[in-house]
A and B are shown apart, each in its own frame.
Chain A
């Protein structure tokens, strides 16, 4: 490989794997070298959390990569140019989905497709699987990960609504963070620079449902509402709509606390203050969608 081309920081024996891996991210490794749509970067595959942290800290300006469904397009548009990529998807500790009793733990590297298709999870919390099954398209679902999605905290992403409504816990290599504290602002979380999400955990709710109105172009949530009834009360979280990202809708929680039925939401209106306006939807329209999607979420929860 001549200078100026992509440098690969893995053993040659792994190059086949790497090719297939990257072929899903971009076109193929061969094309990547010729086309090099992104700035030069060095790829590392970490096999443990501690190795990943070390690789990142040793790098000039490194970044973790998981499914690459957000990061790689950003790099191809040359809006990000990390010197090094540290792949987390092959760390055993980050994989797997466990359901035991009313406890659920989902590894950060679980793909959306794995979440959507997990039979035990579908029994425990079908709404969570339903949500995952409606992220993007099959390609995105087979590459994108739970950890990547919540670390990115796109204001239109789906998982943040589920995690917040389910009062989930985000596990990292350093600590446990409640969902209430984790999602800070648009594309901003409580994570420190080198902190790695290892898993998310939650307690199975009595009932839960997700209502999503997809953005007609991107199919992210133009507005999505996740409602959950738990022993300690009802929580409703809204994604896609808030100026500061995912948030809890108190009016909806209050109405549903008295009766967990769609009819309890009749007449509930959501103020447009604090909601986003963009070319796809005004704040007023999003306010309307919050009420409508909340109803549909409750209907789904009551199945």
Chain B
């Protein structure tokens, strides 16, 4: 293993272009004749559209076309789909309302696209968009999911009676009820998981180009999974058949889930390009991002956790209402079900678990997966409940957790998941050591002298990454398989290109994937290039989300490398006149084990392409592809400990210490892993303390539609993180890796809230724990 192989702290190759402003994003793409689109959006949360008059707008300077939903429909463009079928407990399929890329007869959230203007300049398109006359008949709106289920609530879709999309359950309800009845202690809580706006640094963008000569479409888009976008647009939206549609996702400035989905704007830019005869570019402004990017979280949950007299968990009962917004986004349905309820066992041996989930339409932006997707919601409720139980039982939160840890693997939970490996106690011990847990009382007393309330809080999370075994998810309703693909091309002079179906939008694949290849053959990192994000270059792939790129994407690369290595060994054996089984490839050369006979790597490659002297019957070339379908999820887990100081006069919280001990299995690049954890922690602490998406309940207007009202975490809001890892290698994939992209966002919110409630001595606190909320909670003590 060379210095730049698996396990090396290599600085990211891609950062040079990002940090010097040389990254190329969709908005940097310029196509000859390109024009600009601006969307006309609903100012109302809920209204009937009586008419759309585009006449005045069409007459405005520079305007090339003004297009409406009616025309979209006429041209046979299909409604947006949801790619995961969930059945309610009564056996009926989920009730999905029609979702057109441009609204035709009704709008259901502020910001919904109704028409599009294409003009010479963005400014002209903007001016003309204001001249599109839409006659709305306003209707009462509902933004809160609990209220949307109540009698008499405004109804959004005729297909979904009482705004209920599905009423789903998992687990054994009667076993849970029985166990809770017989429990020595039951901790009950009502918890809200606050709605978040993803806020990727790069706003969404799309450039659609219809080439009349070839009858072919190209879409440059901010996507985490260009192949999935192409598949969905071809198979369901009738934009173009797959062989006539190229989707390119170039450099993408962050996604966090929000760029998984195929959005109306992408479909419309392609369709509008053919319609108007010009390439059409749209770039969201920040307000559009707030209004229309798929939001995250937004759960209301009631939870009961029962213990026996020995403080062992006996049952967990969860009842969740999940806000889906005005329409079902592409993967919305699986988030509060199979990405959430299946993780409710956490790190604990809980014999009986039942979870009921109601998915609900409201007059808000669609909600879908956002960094962690379901697992943060599960972790927040479980870890707040466990911490609360420890307080109620008068035992140490650490020891209550320790007592209930799962210790034998594989472990079958009552909610589908089968944990393959882990050592939860190792993470707990490492975190407690790093945090100097035992020294906390002294720190609390010292803070008190300074007039500060210091608190400590813990969270032991588990999550599921490496999404996912195709057959398993298919049986649960997924419309796609969740394997990954790779092709390894060794060029004639030995450099290597890897084409991957994973997509990098901040994860550092160009470095980690190259390290995997460099390790295998001992070639320098700069001789390895990673190609991704273009359906014309890369074979079908499934993209990046759910921390799957290492566990699934890199596994596909390993499979392809196996094939390349096997062939290279055959060639080397032939040239070195040795037995194939005696050939080893390392340090950039093939050698006969135990001898000094070697052949440089490039000569092996060259031999494959000159084909002057290959083994009998061997095809020329050195290029292999592979598809890897995982056999199980992977299960990263860890322990986070937060310490906070609260100003009793203002309620302001300072996070003064944050320790993260994660088990990600084997690690390809510790530097990148730490970066991923830092980013995740910033987002998780953001959710816990700062970020709260707020719709005005009466008007349905998004009040937090800019950074003046939506608080993003800033460096000054965060401490210097103390991160470390423990390692139980994942037995399910060749690299033994688990995934690290979401853990920080999953594990940190409950640690922060547990620390604040510890500091102030009041457990009645919701996220984001703003100064005013913390102050109000302290006042309720008095």
Contact = CB atoms under 8 A, between A and B. Distances in A.
Given A217-B711, A280-B770, A4 B124 contact: yes
Nearest to B772: A285
B126 A279 contact: no
Interface string A267-297: 0000000000001111001001100100000
B172 interface: no
Interface string A210-244: 00010011100000000000000000000000000
Interface string B689-717: 01000100000000110011111100000
A292 B650 contact: yes
Interface in A21-43: 33-37, 39-40
Contacts of A78: 126, 130
A289 B650 contact: yes
B79 to A, nearest CB: 31
A40 B396 CA distance: 65
B772 A282 contact: yes
A217 B130 contact: no
B649 A292 contact: yes
Contact of B123 (A35, A279, A281): A35
B649 A37 contact: no
A5 interface: yes
B776 interface: yes
Contacts of B649: 288, 292
Contact of A279 (B61, B651, B703): B703
Contacts of B703: 279
A34 B770 contact: no
Contacts, number: 70
B127 interface: yes
B650 A279 contact: no
A83 interface: no
A269 to B, nearest CB: 13
Nearest to B649: A292
A289 B651 CA distance: 10
Contacts of A282: 772, 776
Contact of B708 (A33, A36, A213, A217): A217
Nearest to A292: B649
A218 B775 CA distance: 20
A289 B772 CA distance: 10
B123 A5 contact: yes
Nearest to A4: B61
B127 A218 contact: no
A123 B310 CA distance: 68
A270 to B, nearest CB: 13
Interface in B96-146: 121-124, 126-127, 130
Interface string B32-75: 00000000000000000000000000000110000000000000
B711 A216 contact: yes
A77 interface: yes
A3 interface: yes
A229 B51 CA distance: 64
Contacts of B651: 285
- B interface: dominant SS: loop
Given A216-B690, A285-B772, A292-B649, A36 B709 contact: no
A5 B126 CA distance: 13
Given A77-B287, A216-B690, A216-B711, A36 B771 contact: no
Interface residues of A, number: 24
Given A37-B123, A39-B127, A281-B772, A217 B710 contact: yes
A217 B123 contact: no
Contacts of A279: 694, 703-704, 709
A213 B126 CA distance: 38
B710 A37 contact: no
Nearest to B707: A217
A3 B61 contact: yes
Contact of B121 (A34, A39, A216): A34
A1 B707 CA distance: 34
Nearest to A213: B650
How large, as a class, is the contact surface on chain B? Answer: 20 to 34
Contacts of B285: 37
B123 A280 contact: no
B126 A37 contact: yes
- A interface: dominant SS: loop
Contacts of A288: 649-650, 775
Interface in A169-200: none
A124 B156 CA distance: 63
A201 B124 CA distance: 45
A285 B694 contact: no
B704 A216 contact: no
A82 to B, nearest CB: 16
Nearest to B122: A35
A2 to B, nearest CB: 9
Contacts of A285: 651, 771-772, 775-776
B776 A34 contact: no
Contacts of A3: 61
A23 to B, nearest CB: 15
B123 A218 contact: no
A281 B130 CA distance: 34
Contacts of B690: 216-217
A36 B122 contact: yes
Contacts of A40: 123
Contacts of A39: 127
A155 to B, nearest CB: 13
A36 B123 contact: yes
Nearest to B127: A39
Contacts of B708: 217-218
A217 B709 contact: yes
A299 B126 CA distance: 51
Contacts of B62: 4
A155 B62 CA distance: 41
Contacts of B650: 213, 288-289, 292
A216 B123 contact: no
A77 B285 CA distance: 10
A218 B709 contact: yes
Contacts of A4: 61-62, 121, 123-124
A217 B771 CA distance: 12
A3 B120 CA distance: 12
A57 B776 CA distance: 51
B123 A34 contact: yes
Contacts of A36: 121-124, 126-127
Nearest to A6: B123
A48 to B, nearest CB: 32
A167 B586 CA distance: 80
A78 B703 CA distance: 17
Contacts of A280: 709, 770, 772
A4 B694 CA distance: 38
Interface in B750-782: 770-772, 775-776
A138 to B, nearest CB: 13
A216 B716 CA distance: 11
Nearest to A216: B711
Nearest to A281: B772
B706 to A, nearest CB: 9
A279 B704 CA distance: 9
Nearest to B694: A279
Nearest to B119: A4
22 contacts: A4-B61, A4-B62, A4-B121, A4-B123, A33-B123, A35-B123, A36-B124, A37-B122, A37-B123, A37-B126, A39-B127, A216-B690, A216-B771, A217-B708, A217-B709, A279-B709, A280-B709, A280-B772, A282-B772, A288-B649, A288-B650, A292-B650
Question: Across chains A and B, which 5 residue pairs bring their CB atoms closest together, nearest first?
Answer: A36-B123, A217-B711, A218-B708, A285-B772, A292-B649
Given A34-B121, A285-B772, 18 more contacts: A4-B121, A34-B123, A36-B121, A36-B122, A36-B124, A37-B123, A37-B126, A37-B285, A39-B127, A40-B123, A218-B707, A279-B694, A280-B709, A280-B772, A285-B775, A285-B776, A288-B650, A292-B650
Interface of B: 61-62, 121-124, 126-127, 130, 285, 287, 649-652, 690, 694, 703-704, 707-712, 770-772, 775-776
